[in-house]
């Protein structure tokens, strides 16, 4: 059927297009005759073959590559192969020199380590010998610590001198107490003897150190274990503790000024000493303006509100006079509640009563003690406390041990943990050097006037 619906077959022929491959085939030349000679070898197979012994590897039909390109490695050049023995020898020499350098370095390090170890061993041995000599010379209970600085040590020993030495001495006797620690540095030490095996003594050229008098040692060694010493300022020590008096625990407070007494000792001057009986009174021994017995605020307030205690108190003329009461007025106060209230109700009655020195009144009128609530035995015990003895009990006196040479105390300072003092010295002999100096100049004089 036609596109227009007709069933009549078409009469116009449809042209066929030519095949392009057939056209290309028609353009090719006629088939050439097959070659009759031997077949051309495969270049890849030829490259894969091993050259025969004696053949030149470069005399090859495909020397320039399978396709005629120069694809050979640079290492296949004849010149390079001719230089191979020389290059191998150079590499061997380089490896040999490197190995020898490493071996020499390791040997040097081992030698230096051995020398350092031997030098340190000799220094440790000499430190022990020096510590024994210091302990013997100062009669110490504990062995001091001695550290010889500087390297190498053996070269210093060869010259019989040490450049720098650190010394730390614990627990040095210094009079009534022991110094907790003496630490310092010594420069220019001249050795007496054959160091390091046999050190017999030394002369300390220049010495500088610090002395610590610890508060904990003071609490223990002064025999006042109930009293604790603390820092009160740059040159002040505070004593605060408790002492038993007639079966009653009394608080003790004192202040001591620290000062250098000469070139070899440190002392204190105790002042502002006070004994407190909590809730009752405060007692200051001595004869000064602040000395005496004064009531505490709680006891003064109880007297203010207790008529019997107040009347008994105004029965003592000395007390009544401190309140401005004449004998007649004091009598009326004791007889009249209104008069008593008028006096005790005054705004500053308690303050005035706390300022009155009650010691003489209580001593002269012992009956008043029980009236106002005080134990007579306690007052008797306080009367026996003498200020000089108590001050001496709390006093400090530090003295350097007797030593030859020029050793002096310098700056004194009170710190949190104790009293520190600077120590300087020069030409201080120890051991055989000290014995020789004593023999030459006579016995060393005491450094504290002894």
Angle 215-220-224 from CA coordinates, rounded to 5°: 100
More confident residue, 256 or 306: 306
pLDDT tens, residue by residue, 244-254: 888 888 888 88
Burial (0-12, 13-18, 19+ Cβ within 10 Å), 120:
middle
The answer on pLDDT for 446 being more than 80 is no
- Six-digit token string for 179: 């110094």
pLDDT tens, residue by residue, 126-150: 788 778 877 777 777 788 888 888 7
Using pLDDT thresholds of 50, 70 and 90, give the confidence band for residue 196: low
Poorest-confidence range of 109-113, 289-293, 340-344, 367-371?
109-113
Q: According to the per-residue pLDDT averaged within each range, which of 72-76, 80-84, 179-183 is highest?
A: 179-183
pLDDT tens, residue by residue, 11-29: 555 556 666 666 666 665 6
The answer on pLDDT for 362 being more than 90 is no
pLDDT at 296: 92
pTM over 0.75: no
Q: Where exactly are the structural domains of the chain? A: 223-395
Tell me how far apart the alpha carbons of residues 225 and 217 are, in angstroms, rounded to a whole number: 10
pLDDT at 143: 84
Using pLDDT thresholds of 50, 70 and 90, give the confidence band for residue 217: confident
- Six-digit token string for 37: 């000679």
The answer on pLDDT for 298 being more than 90 is yes
Segment 63-81 mean pLDDT: 51
ω into 164 cis (within 30 of 0): no
The answer on pLDDT for 9 being more than 70 is no
pLDDT at 444: 45
For 432, list phi and psi in degrees, rounded to 5: -60, -30
pLDDT tens, residue by residue, 382-401: 777 766 666 666 666 777 76
Contact 195, 188 (CB under 8 A): no
The answer on pLDDT for 449 being more than 50 is no
Segment 208-214 mean pLDDT: 83
Percentage of residues in the chain with pLDDT exceeding 90?
A: 4
As a whole number, the mean pLDDT across the chain is 74
pLDDT at 113: 75
Using pLDDT thresholds of 50, 70 and 90, give the confidence band for residue 448: very low
Which has the closest alpha carbon to 428: 450, 407, 411?
407
Strands 177-194 and 161-174: antiparallel
Segment 306-331 mean pLDDT: 89
pLDDT at 67: 47
The answer on pLDDT for 87 being more than 70 is no
Using pLDDT thresholds of 50, 70 and 90, give the confidence band for residue 76: low
The answer on pLDDT for 3 being more than 70 is no
Q: With the C-alpha atoms ordered 368, 373, 376, 380, is the resulting torsion angle positive or negative?
A: negative
* CA 116 distance to own-chain centroid: 28
pLDDT tens, residue by residue, 149-179: 877 777 777 777 788 888 888 777 666 666 7
Q: List b or e across 357-367, with b for residues whose CB sees 16 or more CB atoms inside 10 angstroms.
A: bbbebbeebee
The answer on pLDDT for 342 being more than 60 is yes
Contact 421, 411 (CB under 8 A): yes
For 94, list phi and psi in degrees, rounded to 5: -65, -45
Between the CA atoms of 368, 374, 379 and 381, what dihedral angle is there, to the nearest 10 degrees?
150
pLDDT at 297: 92
More confident residue, 345 or 221: 345
pLDDT at 27: 67
Which has the closest alpha carbon to 126: 151, 153, 166?
153
- Six-digit token string for 269: 């001057």
Segment 217-223 mean pLDDT: 62
Poorest-confidence range of 97-106, 113-122, 215-224, 436-445?
436-445
Which has the closest alpha carbon to 237: 416, 390, 103?
416
Segment 52-64 mean pLDDT: 54
């Amino acid at each position: 059927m036609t596109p227009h619906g007709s069933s009549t077959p078409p009469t116009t022929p449809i042209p066929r297009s030519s095949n392009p491959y057939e056209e290309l085939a028609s353009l090719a030349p006629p088939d050439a005759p097959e070659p009759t000679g031997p077949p051309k070898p495969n270049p890849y197979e030829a490259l894969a073959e091993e050259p025969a012994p004696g053949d030149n590897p470069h005399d090859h039909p495909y020397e320039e590559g399978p396709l005629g390109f120069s694809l050979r490695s640079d290492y296949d050049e004849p010149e390079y192969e001719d230089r191979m023995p020389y290059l191998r020898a150079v590499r061997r020499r380089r490896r040999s020199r490197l190995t020898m350098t490493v071996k020499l370095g390791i040997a040097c390090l081992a030698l230096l380590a051995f020398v350092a170890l031997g030098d340190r061993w000799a220094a440790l041995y000499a430190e022990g010998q020096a510590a024994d000599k210091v302990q013997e010379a100062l009669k110490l209970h504990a062995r001091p610590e001695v550290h010889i600085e500087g390297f190498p040590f053996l070269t210093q020993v060869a010259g019989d001198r040490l450049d720098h030495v650190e010394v730390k001495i614990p627990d040095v006797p210094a009079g009534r107490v022991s110094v907790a620690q003496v630490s310092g540095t010594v420069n220019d030490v001249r050795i007496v003897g054959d160091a390091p095996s046999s050190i017999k003594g030394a002369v300390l050229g220049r010495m500088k150190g610090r002395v610590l008098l610890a508060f904990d040692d003071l609490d223990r060694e002064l025999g006042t274990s109930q009293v604790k010493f603390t820092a009160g300022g740059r040159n002040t020590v505070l004593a605060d503790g408790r002492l038993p008096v007639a079966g009653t625990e009394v608080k003790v407070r004192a202040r001591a000024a620290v000062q250098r007494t000469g070139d070899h000792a440190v002392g204190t001057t105790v002042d502002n000493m006070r004994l407190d009986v909590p809730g009752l009174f405060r007692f200051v021994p001595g004869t000064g303006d602040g000395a005496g017995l004064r009531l505490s605020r709680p006891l003064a307030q109880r007297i203010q509100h207790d008529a019997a205690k107040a009347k008994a108190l105004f029965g003592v003329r000395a007390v009544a006079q401190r309140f401005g009461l004449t004998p007649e007025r004091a009598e009326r106060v004791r007889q009249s509640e209104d008069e008593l209230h008028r006096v005790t109700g005054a705004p500053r009655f308690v303050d005035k009563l706390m300022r009155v020195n009650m010691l003489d009144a209580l001593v002269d009128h012992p009956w008043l003690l029980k009236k106002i609530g005080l134990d007579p035995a306690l007052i008797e015990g306080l009367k026996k406390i003498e200020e000089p003895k108590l001050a001496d009990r709390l006093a400090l006196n530090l003295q350097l041990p007797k030593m030859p040479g020029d050793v002096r105390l310098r700056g004194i300072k009170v710190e949190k943990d104790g009293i520190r003092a600077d120590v300087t010295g020069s030409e201080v002999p120890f051991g055989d050097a000290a014995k020789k100096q004593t023999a030459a100049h006579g016995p060393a004089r005491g450094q504290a006037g002894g």
